[in-house]
Each structure stands twice: as C-alpha cells, then as structure tokens.
A and B are shown apart, each in its own frame.
Chain A
Amino acid sequence: MPSWTLTRRRFLLAGGAALSSSMARTGVARAQGRRGEIIAGLSERMLTLDPANHYSISATSVLRHVYDPLLDVTNDDRLVPALAESWRPLNNTTWRFTLRKGASFHDGSPFTADSVVFTLKRVRDNSKLIKSFVYQDIDEVQKDGDYAVTVTTKRPFGSLPAHLTMLGMLPPSAGAGEEAFFQKPVGTGPFRFVSWTHGDRVELAANARYWKPGVPRVEKLTVRFIPELSTRAAALRAGEIHVIDRVWPDMVQTLKATPGVKVLDTPALEAQRWHFQLARETVKDPRVRKAVSLAINRDVIIKDLLLGYARPVVSPIPPGLIGHTNLGQKPYDPEKARQLLKEAGQSNLTLDFVLMKDLYPKQLEIAQAVAAMLGEIGVKVNIRNLEIATAREQRTAGNYDLFYSGWAHMPHDPDWYFGQWFTKAGAEKLTRFSDPRVEQLIAEGRVPDPRVRQQKYAEIERILWDEEPEIWPYYSVAIYAISDKLSNFEARRDYYVLLHEVGIA
C-alpha cells in the first residue's frame, strides 16, 4: 500500500520551520521580509467564516488564509502536508494522520490532535453544517498521543484526504461558544482574521508566528467582493485592487492592453456538463442523445464564443484528476445526427433547455448558439433561463430535457461527482440516471488505492462516453488578471485565489 510520507526535502523544510518559528519567538526574525498590502477583488461573496459550513469556491479560497487544513492540494494535483505531516491508509476503512508539531492558533494555543478530533466530530455530528453530509461515513476519530489521529470509516472513503483539503482545523475551544467564536475566529493560518463586512469585504492581517517560513509575504490582505465583472476589471485597471478572478474571455483584450496589468489563464478543473432528463420520452432513447451531441459544433463554441479560452473534452473528468482518461473528442456530424433522429422516429423534436440564471460565463450566448445548431437538424429548442431556485425545483420535478450546468471539482476528486450524479439514489431527483454496472464501479472506486481507483473510474467513463447521459462541451479555462506589482502569483486550476506566498512590490 503506497504511502504519502514526507520527502526528505519537506522534512528539512519542516525542521527549518521549527527553527525559524523559535527564532520568531525570540523576536529575531523581523527579517521575514513582510511588507505591503494586497487587495483582491473576488466575484462571489463569502457567506460564512465557518470552514465546515459552506461549499463555495470563493469561501474556501478566503478561509484558507485564516485556517489551515490537514493537507493542501497543489496546482498540479498533488496532496501535500499542511497541518498533517504525513497520512496513510492502514486498510480500506482506516486512515492515520501524523500531525505537525509547533503550529499554534492565533490565540496562542497549540495545535494538537484534540483539534482534529473536535473538528471532524463536529462536522459529522452537527447536521446543520453544510459539509456534514460528506462526513457521515466517518465512524470513529481517535487521537494517538498529541500528534497522531486515526480515522475509521463505515465504508471505504478513498477521497477523504481530498475532502480534508477543504476543512480548516478549529481549536477545541470553539466548542464552548460557537457563535461567539465565529465573531472573531482563530485558526492556524498565515493570516489572522480582523473583520468581515457582510457582502462587502474581509480584512486579514499577517500571522507573524506562522509555521511556514517566509509566509505570508505581506502585512495585510483585504478581500473585496465585486460581483460585476466590468467593475472588478475597472478597479484593477484603476490600480485600486491587485488581483481579480473569473475574467471572461471578452475582457482579456481590454485588460492586456492596460499598462500594469497581467492576464493569466490556465485550464480549469471544471467540465461544463449539460445533462439530459433520462426519464423523459424525448431523450430516453440514446440515439436522440447521440444526435444532439453530434449536432453541436464544439469547435465553434470554443473558438468563436469563448475566444479559445476553453479546451476540447476527451473524458467527463478533466485532466489532472484521478480517473482522467483519453477517449477521443466527440465528432461534429449534423448529417449523421439527422439520420439518427429519423431512425429514432423523432423528426419533430422540441427540447426544453433549462439554464440557471447568471451562473456560468456566457451561458445564454452559448445556449442560443446550441439552439441554432440543433435547429439545423430540425430540433426546436426552448431556452428557459430561470432564476436558480426555480431552476433547481424544475430539475427535481423533472421538467426539462437538457439542463445547463457544470462541475468544478472541489475537492480535487471525482468521487463526489460520480456518487451524486451516477448512482440511482443520488440521481433520482436530478437526472434519473440508473445503471447497475456504473453503480458497482463507483462503489469499487472508493478504496484508497489510486491504481484501483484509476482503473474503475476509467471504466465508468467509457460507459458514460458511450451512453451520453450528458453533453460535455468543453473544459473551462480559469482566467485571472493581476497587477504587475504582484510576485509569485499562481493561476490555479481550481479557481482558488491563494495569496499567502504572493508578495507585492
């Protein structure tokens, strides 16, 4: 059984961290070189300071600065130590974590196994927490001395480490009065919480005693929430903020042309997915679905509408994630599409294409393009651009033929995607998908062994590629724009904006 242990390099780093944190304690290491303030402009407002109470990419991004999780995930999809120095599965249902020594919370209390036990039990037991349902498979959490924890699960939970990258560790003292704690929360992270104005901004200050040397590199971090893209871009161009996320392809030219601004992009861990309502008479027949897929010119969408800021899909799971495999691109063949429709006896088809308002960039534009393409093969498309709450109700009720959606893999693990959308129980009120072979493979893919998981997931994808319960038009590309005063900014594939190792001139 493979293990994720510290490499020698990381061991030296950890040792170095211990050394420098002791130096900080003696007040010597003012020469940490922290200076300046970074102001970020994010598109999605944060709704909570509790790492266990949200599934928002934006909140994960911001809260990562205040709380450390047990592990982090790098931009090339490797799991690396954070508050856990090492971790390994003891068997299919047991994980053991060895914890970092010398880390402490912003209030001075030390980070120990008690914190891990508290955090995990809390998220499992408090069903009001948004992340709770993910951790229901945890059976026991036991500390083994102050710096090791064993977690046993009810059934194999191979994606546990990935999920843990999104769960910040809380001090056990938070249990004494949660409401008060979250007014002024403390974590072990590179920044201390200063203030949060709902829907407007979050202010953070550097944690001088952070366990990683040289981090953070600035004294102050302010995150502003600016949902309107033009305004976000304007603020960056005017020099008022230093980094923005969720830039649209059409904005790139204007930004590139602004002196002092750099545009960075990277293929994202997100596949757009338009899913069919598989119980509906119209699209039940796989030939109809195949016809729809053949009629969509993905190339036009990627090149003309997204200006090249998208990648062609070769598998439902984007590259970089476990399970990605190359199944070849889907062809564009309207002739064949028309043929298939005739074969299936559906030459006068009308499809309801439901969108969730304002969720994905250019979705209305793309949907209209698709409607035109399907019109070419004789399919009439009714675009129904609904507010999110109503759209989701319609989906539960099954009132749609095609539903515009996407899946950004957070955490970096496809288990959730498969478990939710391709098991009978999960998909019942969503896509009505049901395939016992897939169901079996998903269960088998839950084991910790990555080789087994890769094999099972590849198998699932071959089946899905053939059945086409969904259309995967493109992988998204994440576009960021930053001030050229920033150094060491990494354009992340998971849409997180992480600034603890970023400096400002």
Chain B
Amino acid sequence: MRSYLLRRLGQAVLTLAGVSLLVFVILRVIPGDPAKMLLPEGAPQSAVDALNRELGLREPIWVQYGIFLRSVARGDFGQSFQYGAPALRVVVERAPATIQLALAAMVLTVLVGMSIGVLAAVRRGTGYDYAGTVLTVIGQSLPNFWLGIMLILLFGVTRRWLPTSGFQGWSYLILPSLTLAAFPTALVARLTRSSLLEILGQEYIRTGRAKGLGERAVIWRHALRNAMIPLLTVLGLQIGTLLGGAVITESIFAWPGMGKLVVDAIFFRDFPVVQTVLIISATIFVVINLLIDLLYTVLDPRIRYG
C-alpha cells in the first residue's frame, strides 16, 4: 500500500506539471489576443502591441513558462489580466461559494438519487418504479437553464419565497443546488437501480438469502456495498464537474463561482486566471480520484492494484 501511495504521489506531481504546461501552451497558441480584449474595439494596433509587451506576452514561450514556474514556486500565479489583482486571490475568492454549492448539490444528489434508485429497485415493476423512471428521464433531459429560470420565476417572482440570485446566505443555496443537482440525481438514481438489480441477481447474494438473512439485510449490506462502486466513480467525477463546470447554473443565478470565472477568463484570454483555475482543478481531480481508488479497496477488499 505504501509504495502504491508513493507511486500515486509521484504521478500527481507529473499530472500537475503536465496540466500547467499544456494550458500554458494552448493559451498562447490559440487565436485571441489578451491586449485586444482589454482595449476597446477602436484602439490602435500600437496600443495593442504595447500592452502585449507590458503583459510579458512577447517573450518566447519557454521564457514565459520559466518565469511562470519560478513565480508559482513563490506562490505567485500572476496578475489577472481582467481584474489587475493577483490571479490566485481572484480564484480563491470564489472558493466558498463554489464549495458550498457543490456540497449542497452533492448532498441532494446522494440522498435523493440513491433513495429513488433503491426504491425503484426494491419495488421493481410497480408504480414506484415507473414514477422513478419518469423523474429520472425528466432530470436527464431538462436543460439546466430551463430548470433554473423556471425555479426563479416560480419561487422568486410569482411566490416570493426564495431569493432569485446571488449568494448572501444559506437560503440562496436552495434554488441553484436544486438546479445543479437535477441531472446527477437522475443519473445516480438510474445507476443505483441498475447496479442493485444486477447484484441482487448474483450468485453470492442468493447464497446469503439461503442462510436465512432477512431480505432487507441482504439488500442493505451486500448489494448496496457493491453498488457503491460504480456510484462512487460517478460521484467523484461529478464533484469535479460541480466545482469547475457549473457555469450555466452560476450564470443564471449570478452565483460568484469558479465555473463562470474560468469560462469568462477563457473568453477574455485572461491567461493567469485560466492557468490558476486549471491547476487547482487538476489538483482536486487527482486527490478525488486517489481517494476513490482507495475507497474501492475498502468497499471490496478483493480489489487489488498493479
């Protein structure tokens, strides 16, 4: 185990280095000029060139990357082109809102999704099952923005029960997390149902039943445990997506999160912010995927790596 962890740690460093290099190069190779984005449409080319030089973008790429690495080692991720403030600060400012929304959506996804999935599996073929199917189909085909805007209109405007946008308190979390959780909840519900049904039919469970264990105990202990594996996989990827990819929900709810920050930064060609967010994203995914790989071995001790 220890050597496995060390190996993974080493790979983590490589992954981060890879991401930083890749994003650095991609940003400078794709069309689009940060100085042009900062200056108004009617600015002369001389002003554009001067600004690009000021931003350090006229140096050869490897020189720029060297400077970048050296600053990152000092904790300096550069100055955001858009805001003129340290990129790291601009990104980290968005962390609380992002994390809280992601957590809220995760909690909903796990609780509601698994409940629906379990219910559908246990009561297979009945009205509950079909109701579950309807709900999951809706959850998976509803566009994010449709749900978000409808929720705002219903609960924020027609009935003023909830705030329409922004993040000034826990009640502001409700509508955005519902919007964000709809798709993953539906996916989790279907996966739970299908995994449970699959495992319930397997040999060793039948053996378990024959030993006289109550049906309930069988389901909860064996099947759920093993259904968790594909579920955990999906949830792990979901967290990452929720943290960096919730751009549509964040736009609709004027939510000060990292998803919108990085997409705006990409369109604006704010290189330091994009670089910073991607490095942080990569770190998060590396950590999550490692944790999940470890959790697999906990859930199913027969699993071995290498």
Let me know if B33 and A392 touch, CB within 8 A.
Answer: yes
Question: Closest B-chain residue to A230, C-beta based?
Answer: B149
Contacts of B203 in A (CB 8 A): none
Task: Tell me the smallest distance from the CB of A54 to a CB of chain B, in Å.
Answer: 9
What 1/0 mask marks residues of chain B from 165 to 196 whose CB sits below 8 Å from any chain A CB?
11100000000000000000000000000000
For A389, the closest partner residue in chain B by CB is B32
Please choose the segment from B9-17, B238-246, B248-256 that sits at the chain A interface, where 4 or more of its residues have CB less than 8 A away. B248-256
* Residues of B with C-beta under 8 A to A425: 44
A341 touches B (CB below 8 Å): no
Known: A127-B54, A198-B90, A226-B254. A133 touches B46 (CB 8 A): yes
Alpha-carbon distance between A177 and B216 when the two chains are bound, in angstroms: 70
Interface flag for A376 (CB, 8 Å): no
Q: In the complex, which residues of chain B have a beta carbon less than 8 angstroms from the beta carbon of A393?
A: 31-33, 36
Cβ-defined partner of A426 (8 Å) among B36, B44, B157, B261 = B44
Binds A, one of B80-88, B217-225, B228-236: B80-88
Q: Given A127-B50, A417-B42: A228 and B254 within 8 A (CB)?
A: yes
Does A237 have its Cβ within 8 Å of any Cβ on chain B? yes
Instruction: Enumerate chain A residues within 8 angstroms of B267, measured Cβ to Cβ.
Output: 387-389
A234 touches B165 (CB 8 A): yes
Is the beta-carbon distance between A234 and B156 smaller than 8 angstroms?
yes
Cα A104 to Cα B269 with chains together (Å) = 39
Within the complex, what minimum Cβ distance (angstroms) separates B273 from chain A? Answer: 10
Please state if B54 and A128 are interface contacts (CB–CB under 8 Å).
Answer: yes
Docked Cα-Cα span, A47 to B40, in Å, equals: 13
Q: Which of B31, B44, B82, B160 contacts A133 (CB 8 A)?
A: B44
Q: A133-B47, A425-B44 are in contact. Are A388 and B152 (CB under 8 A)?
A: no
Question: Are B47 and A225 touching (Cβ within 8 A)?
Answer: no
The verdict on A428 contacting B93 (CB below 8 Å), with A226-B254, A389-B267 known, is: no
Interface contact A234-B153, CB-CB below 8 Å: yes
B205 CB within 8 Å of chain A: no
Bound complex: CA of A55 vs CA of B42, how far in Å? 10
Which of these, B32, B51, B83, B253, contacts A231 with CB under 8 Å? B253
A124 and B125 alpha carbons, distance in the complex (Å): 76
B37: interface (CB < 8 Å): yes
List of B residues within 8 angstroms of A47 by Cβ: 82-84
**B162: nearest residue on chain A (CB-CB)?**
A238
Interface residue? A446 (CB, 8 A): no
Contact with B along A386-409 (1 / 0, CB 8 A): 011110111010000000010100
Instruction: State which of A200, A389, A407 has its C-beta within 8 Å of the C-beta of B269.
Output: A389
A240 within 8 A of B: yes
Measured CB to CB, the nearest residue on chain B to A200 is B256
Docked CA distance A497–B157 (Å) = 24
Which residues of B sit under 8 angstroms from A239, Cβ to Cβ?
A: 160
Question: Does A429 touch B at the CB level, under 8 Å?
Answer: yes
Verify if B164 is at the interface (C-beta below 8 Å from A).
yes
- In the bound complex, do residue A227 and residue B39 qualify as a contact, i.e. CB atoms below 8 Å apart? no
Assuming the A-B contacts A130-B38, A234-B165, A428-B45, are A199 and B256 also in contact, with contact meaning beta carbons closer than 8 angstroms in the complex?
yes
Contacts of A231 in B (CB 8 A): 149, 152, 164-165, 252-254
B146 to chain A, nearest CB (A): 11
B43 interfacial by beta-carbon distance below 8 Å: yes
B contact residues around A227 at 8 Å (CB): 251, 254
Instruction: Report the minimal beta-carbon distance from A272 to chain B, rounded to whole angstroms.
Output: 13
Q: Does A368 lie at the interface of the complex (its beta carbon under 8 Å from any beta carbon of B)?
A: no
Would you list which residues of chain A between 339 and 372 have a CB under 8 Å from chain B?
none
Residues of A within 8 A of B90 (CB): 198
List residues of chain B with CB within 8 A of the CB of A240. 163-165
Q: A198–B254 contact, CB under 8 A? A: no
In the bound complex, CA of A237 to CA of B160 (Å)? 10
Residue B41, interface by CB 8 Å: yes
A238 / chain B contacts, CB cutoff of 8 Å? 156-157, 160, 163-164
Residues of A within 8 A of B31 (CB): 389-390, 393-394
Contact of A225 with B156 in the complex, beta carbons under 8 Å: no
Interface string of A215-243 (1 = CB under 8 A from B): 00000000011111011001101111000
- Rounded to whole angstroms, the CA-CA distance of A429 and B41 in the bound complex is 11
> Does A420 make an interface contact (CB < 8 A)?
yes
| Residues A405 and B41 in contact in the complex (CB < 8 Å), given A227-B254, A235-B164, A388-B267 | yes
Can you pick out 22 interface pairs between chain A and chain B where the beta carbons lie within 8 Å of each other? A50-B84, A133-B39, A198-B93, A198-B256, A199-B260, A199-B264, A201-B166, A228-B252, A234-B165, A238-B163, A238-B164, A239-B160, A240-B165, A388-B267, A389-B31, A389-B36, A389-B269, A392-B37, A420-B43, A421-B42, A425-B44, A429-B45
Which residues of A come within 8 Å of B, CB atoms?
47-48, 50, 53, 55, 127-128, 130, 132-133, 182, 197-201, 224-228, 230-231, 234-235, 237-240, 387-390, 392-394, 396, 405, 407, 416-417, 420-421, 425-426, 428-429
Sorted nearest first, the 3 A-B pairs with minimum C-beta distance are A389-B32, A420-B42, A55-B40
Q: A47-B83, A198-B256, A389-B33 are in contact. List 10 more A-B contacts (CB 8 A).
A: A47-B82, A55-B43, A200-B166, A200-B167, A231-B149, A231-B152, A237-B157, A240-B165, A389-B37, A426-B44
